[in-house]
Structure 1
Amino acid sequence: MGFSTSGATAIIFVGVLVAAGIAYPVFQTAYEERTTAIENHDDRALEMRNTAIEIASTSYDANGNGNFTMDVNNTGSTVLSVSETDLLLDGVYQESYETSVNGTADRELWQPGETLTVTVSTERPNRVKIVTEHGIAATEVL
């Protein structure tokens, strides 16, 4: 065996070490991101299982100002965001409506056991649907 064979072996060995040094951080980062994604998915799934809402009452004031009012109870164990709760009347997304939690208008969080009151100025709807940030919905046909 001459120097050329030993030199080629050394060059290949150094190349393998450099390739492994480059590949390891990439695989480590991919593994960490995958682990984080799985944990986030599990957290979202747990929040969905613990989220429950129930429409307590609905009313329409046809004689007054034409306001539709709905009370929704948070019957689950998850704290919900008022700003991320969506309202649909007759299948149409409502962009602006007034909300209050247990009578307080400036609340952003909707705790378990509390009641969210939604008031919107509209014509009398036939169907109402409210959807939480976790995709849990309650529908009522009026």
Structure 2
Amino acid sequence: MGFSTSGATAILFVGVLVAVGIAYPVVQTAHEERTRAMDDRDDRALEMRNTAIDLETASYDGSELTVNATNTGSSTLTVPATDLLVDGAFVADGEWTGTVVNGTTGRELWQPGETLSITVTTDDRPDRLKLVTEYGIAETTTEVS
């Protein structure tokens, strides 16, 4: 074996080491990101399984609509992440006249077993209401008294 063969082998070996040295951190980071994403997905799925609401009453008095719902699951929900649809139209959190959680105004956490009351000013009597939690769990009613 001559020097040219040994030299070429050494150059190829160094090239392989450099390539592996560059590729390994990239592969390691990609694996960590994938693992983190799978853990986040599993956490969201668990929260979805532990979330349940009961849309108890919806009443309209000619100018204001009041919706009462109870958190019947075991997940703590946030009021700003809860969405309300009135006759298929999204009513943003900023358009709500007020919210009350278990008799206390201004609370943002909606604990299991507590009742959330949302008040919205509207001119028309709604036919259909839908309340959606931050985890996508929804409850719909067509009974507005």
Report the TM-score range of the alignment, normalised by the length of the smaller protein. over 0.9
Equivalent in the alignment of 2:59: 59
Q: Is 2:122 the counterpart of 1:125? A: no
Q: How many residues align?
A: 139
Give the superposition deviation at 1:58: 1.3
Structure 1 portions without partners, runs of 5+: none
Equivalent in the alignment of 1:14: 14
1:25-59 CA-to-partner distances (Å, cap 9, x unmatched) read 01100110000000000000000000000011111
Give the superposition deviation at 1:103: 1.5
Secondary structure class of the residue paired with 2:24:
helix
Equivalent in the alignment of 1:68: 65
Q: What is the percentage of aligned positions where both structures have the same residue?
A: 64
Equivalent in the alignment of 1:39: 39
Equivalent in the alignment of 2:27: 27
Residue identity in the other structure for 2:82: T
Equivalent in the alignment of 1:107: 107
Partner Cα separation in structure 2 for residue 2 and residue 53 of structure 1 = 79
Partner Cα separation in structure 2 for residue 13 and residue 53 of structure 1 = 63
Structure 2 portions without partners, runs of 5+: none
Residue identity in the other structure for 1:61: D
Equivalent in the alignment of 1:77: 74
Structure 1 stretches (4+) deviating beyond 4 angstroms? none
Equivalent in the alignment of 1:50: 50
1:69-120 CA-to-partner distances (Å, cap 9, x unmatched) read 0110000000001000000000000121121101211101000000000100
Partner Cα separation in structure 2 for residue 130 and residue 24 of structure 1 = 48
Partner Cα separation in structure 2 for residue 106 and residue 140 of structure 1 = 25
Residue identity in the other structure for 1:34: R
Residue identity in the other structure for 1:84: A
